[in-house]
Amino acid sequence: MKNTKHFGGIIKKSALAIIATAVVLTASIAQAEIKPAVVYDTAGKNDKSFNEAVFNGITKFMNDTGIAVTELEPTNEAMMEQSLKKFAQRGYSPVVAVGFTMANAVAAAAAEYPDTQFTIIDGVVDAPNVQNVVFKEHEGSFLVGVMAAMASSTGTVGFVGGMDIPLISRFECGYKQGVAHQDSSMNVLAQMTGSTPAAWGNPSKGGEITRNQVENGADVVFAAAGGTGMGVYQTAADMGVLAIGVDSNQNYIQPGTMLTSMYKKVGLAAYQSFEAAMNGTWSAGFTVNGVAEDGVGAAMDEYNADLVSAEMMASVEAARAGIVDGSIVVHDYMSDNTCPL
């Protein structure tokens, strides 16, 4: 009997201790502790492109703040939704999803876990707990269009799109405007690879389209076509013309024939999303990164230094300044699905 009483006392004491610990823990969470996670797309974090840029942004965040970010690389599309939901279920927030292919998965996970903060990079999900980080691709494409027009000696440049969707038409339209801004007499040959997702991974067809454009006079070809672009860059190198990369700095892929790349600073976007969550300023809705925010632009490095003249740099810089101060307005194809050219 005495023993039981004593035992009951222990339970009471430990219960108190547990409650106290819980209170302390909750308090510390409310201050600044966040539990961020990221889900890459199927290309994985070492893709030397889009995902790797996010990975670099996250690594910088971890080094700067000491907060661990949990990462996951899904190997197929079915895994995306599961992994987002799993993170939300385990209390991770914000959960960053990389790439527009994740949009459906994010929409499903956000509806199921309304208290979790989701951030989708380069995609659009209309939900009260989703932050959409989008880029003004038309502005970046405008800048590389200016460079293409200056680098061309034939008066004709090319554009190879991946799947025929409005997002890719936005690249095309911005590029055309940039070319025309520099030289209105220039001719732009623009083609799409296909109308199914297979159009993102068909380098053979990308190569054939490029060859056709080169045979019709193009000497600079801009590819916004995912894996299909590899065939574009290769064919451009084989045929001795210039190519322009996309999404991240791809100049290294074919050194000497890559004029530049239209980069999107996705790493910075991921960093800023976590930082905002940490400071309590994270908000759902749209975060738009254009030329003014240095979210998009034309990549310069040691691989294309010999191809870009000082005049080109000056023109690009002038165009950039024009876009920032509003004297140049680049039409966004996705605003009305037309290209005024």
Residues near another protein (CB under 8 A): 42-44, 46-49, 51-52, 73, 75-76, 190-192, 194-195, 198, 201-205, 207-209, 211-212, 215, 227, 230-231, 234, 253-254
* 175-204: b (≥16 Cβ within 10 Å) or e: bbbbbbbbeeebebbbbbbbeeeebbbbbe
Pairing mode, strands 70-72 and 156-163: unpaired
Query: CB 320 → another protein: shortest distance, Å?
Result: 29
Comparing CB distances to another protein, the nearer of 25 and 198 is: 198
Comparing CB distances to another protein, the nearer of 10 and 78 is: 78
Which contacts of 124-131 are long-range, i.e. CB under 8 A and separated by 24 or more positions? 124/100, 127/284, 128/284, 129/284, 130/106, 130/284, 131/94, 131/273, 131/282, 131/283, 131/284, 131/285, 131/286, 131/287
Query: CB 162 → another protein: shortest distance, Å?
Result: 12
Query: CB 40 → another protein: shortest distance, Å?
Result: 9
Comparing CB distances to another protein, the nearer of 47 and 139 is: 47
Query: CB 235 → another protein: shortest distance, Å?
Result: 9
Query: CB 194 → another protein: shortest distance, Å?
Result: 7
Report d(CA 29, CA 35) in Å as an integer: 9
Comparing CB distances to another protein, the nearer of 44 and 280 is: 44
User: Encoding tokens for residue 53?
Assistant: 């840029």
Comparing CB distances to another protein, the nearer of 180 and 237 is: 237
Query: CB 43 → another protein: shortest distance, Å?
Result: 4
User: Encoding tokens for residue 119?
Assistant: 């951030």
Comparing CB distances to another protein, the nearer of 151 and 258 is: 258
